[in-house]
Structure 1
Amino acid sequence: MTIDTNDLLNSILDSLSRIDYIHPGEIPNIDLYMDQVTTFMETQLSSTKRYEQDKILTKTMINNYAKNHLLPAPVKKKYSKEHLLVLIFIYYFKNLLSIHDIELLLKPLTEKYFQTSEDFDLSAVYKEVCQLEKSRITSVQEDIKNLWEESSRTYQDAPKEDQEYLQLFAFICSLSFDVYIKKTIIEKLIDSFSDEKK
């Protein structure tokens, strides 16, 4: 692969080390109206947008989540800290899972830990997950580097002018295969969890 492509990958890998999450302490402890929720989410998650015009969460999305039971209904049109935590989970899951799968996955959390007076609440669940994910960044970076190196050794018999593109294609296919495998595992786990509950 060319220096430019290697530089791009290094830049992407470097950006992974800067991935952060919304810390529970950053979420307001007061209930918010819809406009305040969308503004908060837009501000906090703007770095995750691919394109400037992308929307993080719209009023319509949030209303649909509540209507479809992914999100507990607001109280007097106000959303609590727990609502925001559930919305953050939905935001990350929605690019990968169906609405039905997200509902199955989140329902036990919202039933047991949503607005509870116990010490172990939805904030504790959220914080633990975020710390686990943050601890995995280095190993993910290493896996991606290894895939990159393997891909850069492919298509040695292809025409020289096509090798760079074909190697990049192989790399993207490998990453996509990883996503496909992990998505399949997630769906099977949700299915087994759902079957257990039935």
Structure 2
Amino acid sequence: MADAKELISRLALEKKIPVEEIPKIDLYIDQVIQLFDTGFSEMKRTPEDKILTKTMINNYAKGKLFYPVTNKKYSRNHVMLISLIYQMKSALSINDVKKVLAGINEKAAQKEIDLSEFYDSYLEIQRFNDEIFKRNVEQQVERAEAESADFGNDREEINKVLLIASLVHMSNLYRRAAETLVDEMAGGKEA
């Protein structure tokens, strides 16, 4: 049987890059990669996985997912935007991420928004979501256990498959909801 608390602890939900851990000096690309590797190392599925690479960052820059860097150095704002991109790209297409961040990028480039304040709000929502997620995973584990109770010798395998299918379903629902909002943003409509 899956143990909800053990599963949740392995997810390293507390791993984030808070504003105060982002250096106040501009960073070269290798320093940005090191910051992400340090901040998110526990989130790797395998030790060989890369959190961020030069190619990824260069592709984000070419794709204009964040406003241009100066003298090959990344500001705190760039690091915050790259963190947002990193989180969003696992569920949304790069084009969708670009649409979502276009207005924020423009405002940040023009210094019309305090990106630190925005990013802190984003991290606060993440912490709120983490608590909801923990409760939901516990409920999903309980439900999968209840549904697999009558499967005898196959119970453990059935339980895991039901739990995986349930978690994937929830992920798909959230992704589809996010895509619907992206489409509304792209169409100029407000949700």
The answer to whether TM tops 0.5 is: yes
Q: Is the 8 A contact 2:12 2:43 kept in 1?
A: no
Aligned with 2:42 (options 23, 28, 47): 47
Going from structure 1 to structure 2, the CA distance change for 1:181 and 1:51 (only over 3 Å counts) comes to same
Q: Does 1:178 align with 2:170?
A: yes
Counterpart of 2:40, as a letter, is L
Q: Is the 8 A contact 2:23 2:76 kept in 1?
A: yes
Q: Is the 8 A contact 2:11 2:43 kept in 1?
A: no
Structure 1 residue aligned with 2:103: 108
The Cα of 1:157 is off from its aligned counterpart by: 4.2
| Count of residues paired in the alignment | 189
Aligned with 2:161 (options 147, 165, 169): 169
Q: Which runs of 5+ in 1 are unaligned?
A: none
Give the CA RMSD over aligned residues.
1.8
Going from structure 1 to structure 2, the CA distance change for 1:36 and 1:14 (only over 3 Å counts) comes to closer
Structure 2 residue aligned with 1:11: 6
Runs of 4+, deviation exceeding 3 Å = 14-18, 155-158
Q: Which runs of 5+ in 2 are unaligned?
A: none
| Bigger relative CO (Cα 8 Å, ≥ 6 apart) | 2
Structure 1 residue aligned with 2:138: 145
Q: Is the 8 A contact 1:17 1:138 kept in 2?
A: no
Structure 2 residue aligned with 1:129: 122
Distance in 1 of aligned mates of 2:21 and 2:64: 25
Q: Is the 8 A contact 1:16 1:141 kept in 2?
A: no
**Cα deviation 1:86-127 (Å, max 9, x = unaligned):** 1101111111110000000111111112461x6x51111100
Q: Is the 8 A contact 2:65 2:98 kept in 1?
A: yes
Q: Is the 8 A contact 1:13 1:141 kept in 2?
A: yes
